[in-house]
Structure 1
């Protein structure tokens, strides 16, 4: 028996960790929504597992490799063939850390930045034609983007988007965790630049599109550390999740279980109490100020224009994809 779903929700990195818990919460609260969990693979059969947990069938897995732009374009071009209902929310959650030497994507971009920013930016712009009248975009960032939080991760550095995409001879030697914190800063810069453009489009077309940035806190046990060595992965996935109360006491209260942060992320995607929130940053359930650097509009626009130049192809303009072009344009 086919189900006529009212809305669709896309969660990238939705097959494990934070994304999985977010998708589980949304599926439970909205059995009338089609939830799409998108990742490179689904070795744990995440959709089936959610169905068995909830005794319902409204979750679907789709393969998505954010590090390969051709595959991102294929994912977007195939979207219509699935006949999904209008998109209620897009949760841009997928991310990886590469703690060792710099790694590059299929397209030649530094891989942390390629997955967490470039692939997501292209995916979002190509899915605009499928938005509902009131679509929410949630960008998962991290408190590590803010040097004032003293997270223990090397401070974020933003000189230019080009430097993040193609590290110089000097920055290529930087700690891989620093590339992660800098990319998470880029996520917040992008959120604020996107917010200005969505507000302009809302005014012109009568939409209610919003974007928020989210810090899940330190969440041991997610797939974020899967590029670490064996010992690092063991500590991250086995040891730290079992001592979260202790970690909160001795390190920071902003340390959470996967379920706690997944629920907070789902709230931004679907809950009515944050409806209309846009251009703001949440730490868990609290709206707070992001880093001082993240409010630098010159940096926001540098990131935006670099992204446009890197992603908007001549084919996009030739085919008259007006929403992609307008969303990409300057404000």
Structure 2
């Protein structure tokens, strides 16, 4: 079969990403749906194809914690001769609950996967985006102090501090690094949106950020301690109505949130989608801090400098070339 468009979903082998990929594959059997993660031990791509009685979903390995691996992934993509990318879901994330860990590139792991790796992936894939393509970055309501719900309050000092996790942030809990990475997602979305506005409307990709809500049972807590893993994977999924009543109505199954993510990426009206922050299918205001352009620009400039191999590539990334 000759496919007309591509979709790429990072973290698409489980949870939110899996169900978003499933929804998009079902609606667009003439598109190729690529799910990318470190591994696909559960054969998620085959599961989607078997469920839909189709063959348009495939898996490609991607390690977002390695800038070199991301570049190799894009080279692999080129050899596949996929059609232009219509939807790019920058969805993968994790929490590291213990002491600071860093990637082979010397970047704090949470920030590396949630933001840095996705930013490089976007810049390298920019030439392969279809006209009027859509990019959705999975963030979280925890980026907003007004919606912290027991999580540490996010604090943006600088991109350099988020990346290096030196004193004073090295001693902070892993959950604080997680909420900071989710704030970075929204800051970067607004910085990117401003730059995309310089492209002619008929070709311009658009970008938004998405809060899936709390999703008990998903893989976000895979590195937590035994008791919390039991609560997260066993107790909480059986208590969703109670949790919605006691804590927050924005608590969903991964299937519900995956369907919402697919809807935002594929069906939200263009005038509502571009440069917006969604809680489920509702366009809402993001945190006060996320609108601060000084922080947005600090993050943008640090990112293009540190993911580029040289000044020429940095200029290319800054100009969205």
Which bin holds the TM-score, normalised by the shorter protein?
A: over 0.9
Q: Is the 8 A contact 2:141 2:148 kept in 1?
A: no
Q: 1:117-156 maps to which residues of 2 (within 5 A)?
A: 117-156=115-154
* Aligned partner of residue 319 in structure 2, secondary structure: helix
Q: CA deviation at 1:201?
A: 2.3
| 2:242 counterpart of 1:246 | yes
- 2:319 aligned residue (310, 326, 330): 326
Matching residue of 2:102: 104
What is the alpha-carbon distance in structure 1 between the residues aligned to residue 148 and residue 138 of structure 2? 19
Aligned ranges for residues 111-260 of structure 1 at < 5 Å?
111-202=109-200, 206-260=202-256
Q: Is contact 1:267–1:274 with CA below 8 Å preserved after alignment?
A: no
Residue 202 of structure 1: how far off its partner (Å) = 3.2
Aligned with 1:274 (options 262, 269, 273): 269
| 1:129, distance to aligned residue in structure 2 (A) | 1.0
Q: 2:89 and 2:135 mapped to 1: Cα distance? A: 6
Shift of 1:117: 0.2
Correspondent of 1:284 among 280, 283, 286: 280
Q: Is 1:82–2:77 an aligned residue pair?
A: no
How far is 1:325 from its partner?
4.8
Q: Is the partner of 1:201 in helix, strand or coil?
A: coil
Partner of 2:199, secondary structure, is helix
Report the number of matched residues: 320
**Cα displacement (A) at 1:322:** 7.7
Alpha-carbon distance, 1:215 to partner: 0.4
Question: Is contact 2:304-2:317 (8 Å) kept?
Answer: no
Alpha-carbon RMSD: 1.4
Output the CA distance in 1 between the equivalents of 2:79 and 2:21.
22
Could you list the per-position Cα deviations for residues 262-288 of structure 1 after superposition, in whole angstroms to 9, with x for gaps in the alignment?
0110012212x4334211100011100
Per-residue displacement from partner, 1:131-165 (whole Å, max 9, x unpaired)? 10111000000000000113211000101000000
Q: Deviations over 1:145-203 (max 9, x none)?
A: 00011321100010100000011222100011000001100000000000011111235
**TM-score normalised by structure 1 residue count:** 0.94
Q: For structure 2, which runs of at least 5 residues remain unmatched after alignment?
A: none
Specify the alignment match of 1:265 in structure 2: 261
Residue 295 of structure 2 aligns to a residue whose secondary structure is helix
List structure 1 runs of 4+ shifted beyond 6 angstroms.
Answer: none
